[in-house]
Amino acid sequence: MAFLRDDNRGDRPAQSPDRDAALPSDVVKVRSLFISDVHLGTRGCQAERLIDFLHHHDADTVFLVGDIVDGWYLRSSWYWPGTHNAVVQALVDIARRGKRIVYVAGNHDEFVRDYVGSTFGSVEVVEHAIHRGVDGRAYLVVHGDHFDLVVRHARWLALLGDVGYRTALASNVWLNWIRSRFGLAYWSFSSWAKLRVKNAVNHIGRFEEVLSSEARRHAAQGVICGHIHHAAMHDEFGIRYINTGDWVESCTGVVEHHDGRFEIIRWVEARPQQMPGPSSVVPFARAVA
């Protein structure tokens, strides 16, 4: 049976003022922070950007929405540089400050599912969760792989596609090394190519629709997910759909401000960029009124 946790509770441990005082002076304090698809253990992981992002956001609750560690890749080829240790350390430091961390299992870190229902200090491991917004609205938080037909019914095809995807990601590394020599900003070739393939675009649309239906089944008014590496926020299916994106191609995360606004932030060259579209900053209650 899938483990479900409702995070509308008040038993978080007290925060350490000494540790909070050590945060950067330009840190943004937010209610919740959502990141997914970090893929630690792969060469495509943008670890340095993620570390900078975490250092500049202080959240009461951090949701790790699956695929934080890439067990698929590590089983075939070990890769774990110091920067990936630094990401883990940054998350440990967040937990030590008394912040709550909710780890939602994904498919690339499916080994985490062996610990669903467990709590390690202030870190909870879940299959999915219900997050309560400032206005009391419920958001289903789930990685999303269970609703991807390829992953669910043709794992061999998913693994084959993953090999091709890794090849595209490798091209990102070399291309952006060259771009950096000319002072050009980071640009994801794999993301650009993916969104120009008709089948991929159709897959994204279908994924969003299915996840919206699943949120409705849980009597939730929204869903927050990852998996497809495509950050988005809209109400197209009568449900607030939020996808956190990834830290391989787009370097995006989602924050929930203390006034209830959800925002997608793209962290490029250590500079935050608001994703286009009014839905990225409009509070849910106003967006559906």
**Nearest alpha carbon to residue 229 among 35, 12, 18, 7:** 35
How many other C-beta atoms are found inside a 10 Å radius of the C-beta of residue 184?
11
Residue 239 is classified by DSSP as S
Domain annotation covers residue 126: yes
CA angle 3, 243, 49 (to 5 degrees): 105
Domain annotation covers residue 261: yes
Which residue bears the tokens 């202080």? 58
Domain annotation covers residue 179: yes
Amino acid at 83: T
Per-residue tens of pLDDT for the chain, all 289 residues: 344 445 544 344 444 444 454 566 789 999 999 999 999 999 999 999 999 999 999 999 999 999 999 998 898 889 999 999 999 999 999 999 999 999 999 999 999 999 999 999 999 999 999 999 999 999 999 999 988 654 443 343 344 445 555 555 556 665 665 656 767 666 565 555 555 444 554 567 788 999 999 999 999 999 999 999 999 999 999 999 999 999 998 999 999 999 999 999 999 854 555 554 434 443 333 233 2
Question: Cα 154 to the chain's mean position, in Å?
Answer: 24
CATH number at residue 79: 3.60.21.10
CA dihedral 79, 84, 89, 95 (to 10 degrees): -100
Amino acid at 85: N
Please tell me the distance from the alpha carbon of residue 274 to that of residue 265, in angstroms, as a whole number.
Answer: 5
Count of domains forming the chain: 1
Instruction: Supply the pLDDT for residue 191.
Output: 55
Pairing of strands 57-65, 262-268: unpaired
Using a 10 angstrom Cβ sphere, with 0-12 exposed, 13-18 middle and 19 or more buried, the burial of residue 176 is: middle
Helix (H, G, I), strand (E, B) or coil at 16: coil
Q: How many CA atoms lie within 13 Å of 27's alpha carbon, on the beta-carbon side?
A: 15
- Residue span of the structural domain in which 174 resides: 27-287
**Nearest alpha carbon to residue 287 among 237, 254, 242, 240:** 240
Rounded to two decimals, the pTM is 0.74
Residues in contact with 150: Cβ distance below 8 Å, sequence separation at least 6, in sequence order: 157, 158, 161
Amino acid at 275: M
Radius of gyration, CA atoms only, the chain: 18
Q: Are 101 and 95 in contact (CB under 8 A)?
A: yes
Domain annotation covers residue 13: no
Instruction: Supply the pLDDT for residue 92.
Output: 96
Q: What single string gives the DSSP state of each residue in 153-173?
A: H-HHHHHHHHHHHHHHHHHHH
CA angle 171, 172, 173 (to 5 degrees): 90
Q: Are 36 and 106 in contact (CB under 8 A)?
A: yes
Domain annotation covers residue 12: no
Domain annotation covers residue 19: no
Instruction: Supply the pLDDT for residue 38.
Output: 98
Helix (H, G, I), strand (E, B) or coil at 2: coil
Domain annotation covers residue 166: yes
Pairing of strands 4-6, 128-132: parallel
Domain annotation covers residue 18: no
